[in-house]
Structure 1
Amino acid sequence: MGVDRQAALTAVRERLSAESAAHSERVAVMAKRIAEAYALDAEEAYLGGLLHDWARDMSGEDLLREARLLGLPVTEADERVPYLLHAPVGARLLRREFPGLSESVLESIATHTCGAPQMSELAMAVFVADSIEPGRTHASASVLRAAVGALPLRELFVRTYADGLRHLVETRRPMHPQTLKTWNWIADGGAFS
């Protein structure tokens, strides 16, 4: 692969706040654990987890500006909740920062907030890891952590995704159109094909 784990870890610690870096390290460890449970590439999962929040600490204004500079589509929903752009913006920035990152790692980073139809299993693993890493204290996190290896990965992903949707509904927060598109893909059986 060509990306040194220690160099990536150092870069994360230099770029992100201490809190965001610690979260990213926990996600990396959880993503590796999930990958090992489902016979995925553990090193790619670790890197996807470690680097997933590369653009997380950017301001909303900076995310919108950077997305436009990178040629990413910016929707009305992105204008309202620019925070969600940290996933695709981060993936694009990382392509330049670490040219040795695989497309599957970059996909896992780009899709870790809203998901995407036809997500790879590696992307599902990083998505789940971000939601259930040990720093997450919501009631279902421990239940989902215990399900790693016990449920098929795709079922674990669907339950994790549904848990996130439930939280958005209960807290009356807006849903990004990509989130609905991903859920419709799941509902149509796409996550299991």
Structure 2
Amino acid sequence: MNLEQIIQATKEQMPLSRWEHTLRVRDTAMALAEGESVDLQKVELAAILHDYCKFWPAEKLMAQIKENNLPEELLLYNKELWHGPVGAEIARKEWAIEDEDILNAIRYHTTGRPGMSPLEKIIFLADYIEPGRQFPGIDKVRQMAKTNMDQALLQSLDNTITFLIEKRQKVYPLTLITRNYYLEQVMLQERS
């Protein structure tokens, strides 16, 4: 596995604006990783690959979901969710990445999941708070991410769920489960 080849291949999968987002996610992830017990090479690799399949046609993503026996319930929800799970499978197949932590960081960067590893939290939050993102509530999450990733995760999930409800869109069940899990984590932290 050659990082430069992966970088070039990823860049070719997306428009320039999304590539610039990917680079900002990488930089944000590297900053969030400071002081954490994470391998910086894993952080960079997961950040570079997190949106690898984002601009694939829906039919191609659908075919990959079925071919890789991914949860077919994904197809009942917004196609914006599909590229994470598919991207993890592509990283395994095309780039021989077997590290489950890297694969999970790619797989769950849009939905989250209960019990995320530090690497998964970093990629999830970096994707959410990178400097190119501008929407109500983002600055609060950016501040929280500097001191408590679980609080930042909870706030970002609350923001996402509220946005989806206001737009009358379905909320993926794993996102709700993840939100409730991190609510419990934050409440436990506040009690201790």
**TM-score tier (shorter):** 0.7 to 0.9
Identity of aligned residues (%): 28
CA, structure 1 residues 37+156, in 2 after alignment: closer, same or farther (shift >3 Å)? Answer: farther
- 1:64 maps to which residue? 62
- Please list the CA deviations of residues 2-52 of structure 1 after superposition, one character each: whole Å capped at 9, or x if unmatched: x43322211111122222211111111111111114343222112211110
CA, structure 1 residues 156+190, in 2 after alignment: closer, same or farther (shift >3 Å)? Answer: closer
TM-score (norm 2): 0.88
Amino acid at match of 1:130: D
Secondary structure of 1:11's partner?
helix
CA, structure 1 residues 120+183, in 2 after alignment: closer, same or farther (shift >3 Å)? Answer: same
> More deviation in 108-117 or 6-15?
6-15
- Please list the CA deviations of residues 110-158 of structure 1 after superposition, one character each: whole Å capped at 9, or x if unmatched: 0011111221121011000111101101132233223333x22222222
Does the 8 Å CA contact 2:29/2:123 hold for their aligned counterparts? Answer: yes
Post-superposition offset of 1:184: 2.6
Secondary structure of 1:29's partner?
helix
Does the 8 Å CA contact 1:118/1:190 hold for their aligned counterparts? Answer: no
Does the 8 Å CA contact 2:77/2:172 hold for their aligned counterparts? Answer: no
Residue among 177, 181, 185 paired with 1:185: 181
Aligned-partner Cα distance in 1 for 2:116–2:125: 12
TM-score (norm 1): 0.87
Aligned-partner Cα distance in 1 for 2:26–2:7: 10
Residue among 128, 153, 159 paired with 1:163: 159
Q: How does 1:20-39 map to 2 (within 5 A)?
A: 20-39=18-37
Aligned length: 189
Secondary structure of 1:185's partner?
helix
> More deviation in 112-121 or 139-148?
139-148
CA, structure 1 residues 4+93, in 2 after alignment: closer, same or farther (shift >3 Å)? Answer: same
Does the 8 Å CA contact 2:142/2:152 hold for their aligned counterparts? Answer: no
Aligned-partner Cα distance in 1 for 2:48–2:186: 27
Does the 8 Å CA contact 1:154/1:192 hold for their aligned counterparts? Answer: no
Amino acid at match of 2:143: A
Post-superposition offset of 1:191: 9.5
Q: Which runs of 5+ in 2 are unaligned?
A: none
